[in-house]
Amino acid sequence: MINAAGRIIPDQITGVADVRPYAGPFATIPTGRMVGPKIRVNKPKSEKIVKSIEQAIEAAGLKDGMTISFHHHFRNGDYVLNLVVAAIAQKGIKGLTLAPSSLNDINEAIIPFIEQGIITAIETSGGRGKLGRLMTSGQLAKPVVIRSHGGRARAIEAGDLKIDVAFIGAPCCDSYGNMNGINGRSACGSMGYAMVDAAYAEKVVAITDNLVPHPVYPISIPQTQVDFIVVLDSIGDPQGIASGALRISRDPRELLIAEYATGVIEHSGYFKEGWSLQLGSGGASLAAAKFIKEKMLAQGIAASFGVGGITAPFVDMLEQGLIKTIFDVQDFDLPSIESLKNNPNHLEMSASYYANPHNGGPIVNNLDVVILSATEVDVDFNVNVITDSNGVIMGASGGHSDTAAGANLAIVVAPLLRGRLPMVLDKVNTIVTPGETVDVIVTERGIAVNPRRTDLIDNFKGTGLPVMSIHDLQRLAYDMAGKPETIAVSDEVVAVVEYRDGTIIDVVRKPL
């Protein structure tokens, strides 16, 4: 069948019970009710602390074929996922579905356990490196399910993703299970992605290297959702969890892209007192934050709120009164963690509050402007952030489609060429974010505005911005580097890309 994004989706896909093709960004109306975990009981004076991960696995009742989840707030400093999977393998449990909020390079250590059948299915936001290549290889029993951050929260709350045991790395945990991410040597800041897991999993295991007396405060995940606690010497490498303040790019190309993106924002009609924004952690986005700050200071404008994964430039703008409130689902650097800890206007939020399309209204719905990156874009403004030019999974969906759908102005920044490969194509290899939710594409050679946005086209006239059609931008790329060859793929579906509403916007087929 052909979905609303023009992609051919098989009528039947192994491991997918209900193949629902993408019908449009707001076409799917949810039915039914939210699910919940089994009712718990905990008698007074009960002890939640167990001696080891192995004991926690036994106490949680983990069995063959179940689903386990983890959060990715520790990024490339994460020890928890690898340690738990290794302990599960020692106990001979097999056929598990691994459902982390995302995977990082450090998690390549679990590949032998995938090859041994300990893990036979993966549902996540994406993967990179060796894990990405394994996901694309077809070695898993079922295709990988790729979900956005909002789509994952939706799937958990709707029962599409049922978590049997959630293992939650806790930088700070008290003796009854209250957790936060701002205290301790493994501090990661917001625990926004773990909050949904804790609220809906059948069993929750907190794993900490910083056990403190009850009660800890503030509380990110409450004791009412926690069944067992494991104390380890270390749950992560602080150097891999959070860096110092991320540096503004000095790359001339990224700076030019950032300058153009700032110009797009300034002349869009949304750049005014009380506007709202989300910026990414990439080089061009961080540089744009600097330029936006300068223009806000010059024009005396303050934003009502900033949102998303938080970086030092956002914190700086909050401290200077240029942003009144920050809503934080994850932190990328130490200044952001400290700000969440100390600034009452810096608020922690769950992934559901952030971007779940099937609740009373995620914060992305209130966004004026978002800047997003891309692996490649096409002439229909579709965006790929999942697969490389060779068709191999090498990225993550993240909040890309969520914020593009919610924001008044979705700006995608990308170089016109990456290496010798054009980044503006006839058709992207894999659609993650549909073109009808993307408003402007910014490269160092020119800016393309979605023809749907006649208001922006009018606003940019006479501004000096290098606006051109998407087809002219593509021709420029092809003139410089030639038209890339189409990737040869088999009929085998190795990954399913869900849109945030649970429908299938694309599939990844095994490259030949």
Q: Is 287 helix (H, G, I), strand (E, B) or coil?
A: helix
CA-wise closest residue to 257 among 444, 469, 445, 465: 444
Q: What DSSP designation does 44 have?
A: T
CA-wise closest residue to 60 among 50, 47, 72: 50
Q: How confident is the model at residue 450 (pLDDT cuts 50, 70, 90)?
A: very high
Q: What DSSP designation does 159 have?
A: T
Q: Tell me: the pLDDT tens digits for 296-306?
A: 999 999 999 99
Q: Is the pTM of this model over 0.85?
A: yes
pLDDT at 250: 81
CA-wise closest residue to 392 among 495, 280, 476, 241: 495
Go through 254-274 and write b for each residue having 16 or more CB atoms within 10 A of its CB, e for each that does not: bbbbbbbbbbbbbbbebbeee
Q: Tell me: the pLDDT tens digits for 329-381?
A: 999 999 999 999 999 999 999 999 999 999 999 999 999 999 999 999 999 99
pLDDT at 15: 87
Mean pLDDT over residues 60-75, rounded? 97
Mean pLDDT over residues 164-191, rounded? 98
pLDDT at 375: 94
Residue 248 has pLDDT above 90, yes or no: no
Residue 7 has pLDDT above 70, yes or no: yes
Mean pLDDT over residues 114-129, rounded? 96
Place of tokens 């002349």: 267
pLDDT at 383: 98
Q: Tell me: the pLDDT tens digits for 381-392?
A: 999 999 999 999
Q: What DSSP designation does 68 have?
A: E
Query: Residue 412 forms beta bridges with which residues?
Result: 372, 441
Cα dihedral 99→104→110→112 (10° resolution): 120
Q: How confident is the model at residue 283 (pLDDT cuts 50, 70, 90)?
A: confident
Share the mean pLDDT of the chain.
96
Go through 308-328 and write b for each residue having 16 or more CB atoms within 10 A of its CB, e for each that does not: bbbbbbbbbbbeeebbebbbb
Q: How confident is the model at residue 245 (pLDDT cuts 50, 70, 90)?
A: low
pLDDT at 285: 81
**8 A C-beta contact, residue 108 and residue 131:** yes
Number of C-beta neighbours around residue 90 at 10 A: 12
CA-wise closest residue to 135 among 148, 120, 147: 120
pLDDT at 244: 65
Mean pLDDT over residues 61-87, rounded? 97
| Sign of the torsion formed by the C-alpha atoms of 180, 182, 183 and 188 | positive
